[in-house]
C-alpha cells in the first residue's frame, strides 16, 4: 500500500506518493486547493493508500504559521471521510527552499524554476521522504 503526502496551501496543494513497497517518494501532482477533494476522491478510488502525511508549517521558533488552522480543518475532514487511512504530520520547514535548490541542481531553467506548481509537488515529495527517513523506511 502507498503513502500519500500533502503540501497543503490556500491556492495550490502539492502531492507526492510512494511506490507500493514504500521505497521511493516521488512528486505526483499539484492541484488547485479548491479541487483537492475531487482529486483525492478519484485518487483514493484507484489507489490503495495506508497513510497520509501532511506537512506541518512551522516557523523558525517552532510555532505554527496561520495556515495551520486551515490544515487542521482539512485533516479533520479527511479523517471523517477516510477513517481507514492513518494521518501523520511532518515538519515542512525549508521544503520550498530545498525544492528550489533541487531544481537548480537538476539543471532546470529559470522559467521552470518559477513554476510554483512544480515547487509544490517537489516539496510534497521532500515532506514524504523526510517522513520515510524518520519512520525508518
Question: Domain spans of the chain?
Answer: 2-134
Nearby residues of 109 by Cβ (< 8 Å), 6 or more positions away: none
Which has more pLDDT, 17 or 116? Answer: 17
pLDDT digits (tens, 9 = 90+) for 36-52: 999 999 999 999 999 99
pLDDT of residue 133: 86
At residue 105, the pLDDT reads 61
Select from 80, 3, 92, 74 the least CA-distant residue to 37: 74
Prediction pTM value: 0.85
CA–CA separation, 35 vs 127, rounded Å?
A: 21
Q: Which architecture characterizes domain 2-134 according to CATH?
A: 2-Layer Sandwich (3.30)
Amino acid at each position: 500500500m502507498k503513502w500519500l503526502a500533502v503540501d497543503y496551501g490556500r491556492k495550490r496543494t502539492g502531492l507526492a506518493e510512494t511506490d507500493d513497497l514504500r521505497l521511493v517518494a516521488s512528486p505526483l501532482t499539484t492541484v488547485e486547493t479548491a479541487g483537492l477533494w475531487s482529486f483525492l476522491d478519484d485518487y483514493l478510488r484507484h489507489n490503495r493508500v495506508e497513510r497520509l502525511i501532511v506537512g506541518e508549517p512551522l516557523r523558525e521558533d517552532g510555532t505554527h504559521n496561520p495556515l495551520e488552522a486551515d490544515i487542521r480543518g482539512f485533516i479533520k475532514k479527511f479523517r471523517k471521510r477516510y477513517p481507514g487511512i492513518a494521518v501523520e504530520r511532518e515538519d515542512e520547514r525549508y521544503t520550498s527552499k530545498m525544492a528550489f535548490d533541487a531544481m537548480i541542481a537538476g539543471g532546470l531553467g529559470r522559467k521552470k524554476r518559477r513554476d510554483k506548481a512544480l515547487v509544490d509537488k517537489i516539496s510534497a515529495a521532500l515532506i514524504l521522504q523526510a517522513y520515510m527517513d524518520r519512520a525508518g523506511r
